[in-house]
Structure 1
Amino acid sequence: MTIDRAVLLFAGFMVLLSLALGFYVSPWWHLLTVFVGLNLVQASFTGFCPAAIVFRKLGCPAGVAFK
């Protein structure tokens, strides 16, 4: 799995998790969804993604977006 796919998988998982927590625990968890969305937008403009750095250190091969 490349870094690109790992980042997309992680972001999707975090969105689904925050929606479930917002529904079952507290609506304040929806702020995590906002944070993930804002992080994806800024990463598309700047190319800087903290999750990509973590996945690179874990040994995932570089994809097209995060070389």
Structure 2
Amino acid sequence: MNLDRAVLAVAGSVVLLSVLLTVTVSTWWILLTAFVGLNLLQSSLTGFCPAAIVLRRFGVVSGCAFTSKEEVAAR
């Protein structure tokens, strides 16, 4: 699994968890879904994704979407 798919898997899992918590615990958990959505939007515009940074440190190999400037220059 590359970094792009891992970021999407983490985001999807958090959204599903947030929906489950919203239904079972409190409607305030919907804010977590909004936060994930806003983070996905800003990362699509800026290329900066905190989840990608964390996953890269865990050794997930880069995909084509979340590459650093150094990796692009090396190609």
Fold match (TM-score > 0.5): yes
Q: Tell me: higher relative CO, structure 1 or 2? Use CA pairs within 8 A at least 6 residues apart.
A: 1
Aligned to 2:32: 32
Deviation per CA, 1:9-65: give whole Å up to 9, x if none.
000000000000000000000000000000000000000000000010000110010
Rg: which structure is higher? 2
Aligned length in residues: 67
Identical aligned pairs, as a percentage? Answer: 63
1:66 alignment partner in structure 2 = 66
TM-score with structure 1 length normalisation? Answer: 0.99
Partner-residue secondary structure (3-state), 2:63: coil
- CA–CA distance in structure 2, aligned partners of residues 44 and 12 of structure 1: 16
Unpaired stretches in structure 1, ≥5 consecutive residues: none
Question: Structure 1 residue runs of 4+, over 2 Å off?
Answer: none
Residue matched to 2:7: 7
Match of 1:53 in 2: 53
TM-score normalised by L of structure 2: 0.88
Aligned Cα root-mean-square deviation (Å):
0.3
Is residue 22 of structure 2 the alignment partner of residue 22 of structure 1?
A: yes
5+ residue gaps, structure 2: 68-75
